Amino acid sequence: MSELRVRALRGATTLEVDEREHLLERTEEVMSAIFARNGLTEDDLISIVFTATADIHSAFPAEAARVAGFTHVPLMCARELEIDGGVKRCIRLLIHAYTDRPAADLRHVYLHEARQLRTDLPE
């Protein structure tokens, strides 16, 4: 039997427009992809930190996790650094979870225009 370890997973997505429903859809999409690619469930989670660029005002990205039913997981939102040339309307996630997978087997997920942040990763 493998030993469970605390691991961190990264992900990001972008919005076409800063609208609440679109933000919830895109955030749920990237979360679902991270969970599916890494075999995670809510019970595996320790916490999720979300960041959003300064051009996002319609909703907190953590709201998408609450809407999806993640009611017992600590969530936090923060503002992403404003860097010249940075990706616009970008939401990033840092998920802390228990898993028996080695770090090298974890699959980070970058969707839509956020793919440019990690061109070294397979889709």
Interatomic CA distance for residues 88 and 100, integer angstroms = 35
Mean pLDDT, the chain cut into blocks of 10 residues (123 residues total): 89 98 97 96 96 97 94 95 94 97 94 87 68
Residues of the domain holding 40: 5-118
pLDDT of residue 2: 72
pLDDT of residue 110: 95
Interatomic CA distance for residues 91 and 20, integer angstroms = 13
Question: In this structure, are residues 62 and 76 in contact, taking their beta carbons and an 8 Å threshold?
Answer: yes
pLDDT of residue 94: 98
Domain-located, residue 89: yes
pLDDT of residue 123: 65
- What's the domain count of the chain? 1
Per the prediction, the chain carries an average pLDDT of: 94
Determine the residue type at 60. Answer: F
Q: Annotated active-site positions, please?
A: 10, 66, 77, 80, 92, 110, 118
Domain-located, residue 123: no
DSSP calls for 13-68: EE-SS--HHHHHHHHHHHHHHHHHHHT--GGGEEEEEEEE-TT--S--THHHHHHT
pLDDT of residue 61: 97
Structure-token pair, residue 84:
């010249």
Determine the residue type at 44. Answer: D
Domain-located, residue 62: yes
Closest of 76, 94, 86 to residue 117, by C-alpha? 86
pLDDT of residue 49: 98
Q: Tell me the CATH number at 21.
A: 3.30.1330.40
